[in-house]
Amino acid sequence: MNYFEFYNIPESFLLDEKAIKNKYYQLSREYHPDFYANETPEKQQEILQLSTLNTNAYRTLSDADLRMQYVLKEHSLLEEGKNEIPSDFLMDMMEINEELMELEFDFDAAKLHEIGEKSSGIVAQLDNDILPVLQRYPELHGFTKEEALAEVKTYYLKKKYLLRIQETLSKFAGRS
């Protein structure tokens, strides 16, 4: 069962965190295995599966990145080896990666800070650009659901790429 269906909420990228937590606690009480100790083994197994589903749904839906990944996978948009990132973005990232490689050989704290600021600026711009799509999904005016999901996929892949760069930056930060 789809996590959104299980929680009886519409599919969305932006959710009410408090409502998700409340639903998790409600279902945790409802499907707590201790309440079914005297039931048949089949019923106990069913409750255990529902309890596990509840935990997995909560972990996924309460985390914005995992939720985005989940929605994209539910729509078969994240496929191994078929996740293309726009070439202009890759060229920008190649420049940043080259600057990081230069830091490997000739560390410069000011250059590290500059690269960090540049990557943070790109992340902020990505977040700013995708927010209207996330806010209106799935009721979009002027967009189809497929177009919106394609935009979200591109955002997700770019952000994932940038997170790797930021991890590299944090390793360099330990040197300064």
The domain locations on the chain are: 3-74, 87-173
Name which of 52, 85, 75, 82 is nearest 160 in CA terms: 85
Packed helices 145-173 and 109-136: angle between N→C axes, nearest 10 degrees? 160
Instruction: Say if residue 176's pLDDT is above 60.
Output: no
User: What is the Cα–Cα distance from 65 to 156, expressed in whole angstroms?
Assistant: 8
DSSP 3-state of 142: coil
Cis peptide bond upstream of 132, omega within 30: no
Residues 6+ apart with CB under 8 A from 112: 103, 169, 172, 173, 176
Question: How confident is the model at residue 80, as a pLDDT?
Answer: 74
Residues 6+ apart with CB under 8 A from 130: 151, 152, 155
Residue-wise pLDDT tens digits, 141-174: 778 899 999 999 999 999 999 999 999 988 887 7
Tell me which long-range contacts 104-110 makes (C-beta under 8 A, separation of at least 24): 107/172, 107/175, 107/176, 109/176
Q: Does domain 3-74 have CATH number 1.10.287.110?
A: yes
Q: Are 101 and 122 in contact (CB under 8 A)?
A: no
Q: Are 99 and 115 in contact (CB under 8 A)?
A: yes
Question: How confident is the model at residue 140, as a pLDDT?
Answer: 75
Residue-wise pLDDT tens digits, 24-73: 999 999 999 999 999 999 999 999 999 999 999 999 999 999 999 999 99
C-alpha pair distances (Å), 85 with each of 6, 44, 151, 153: 32, 46, 11, 9
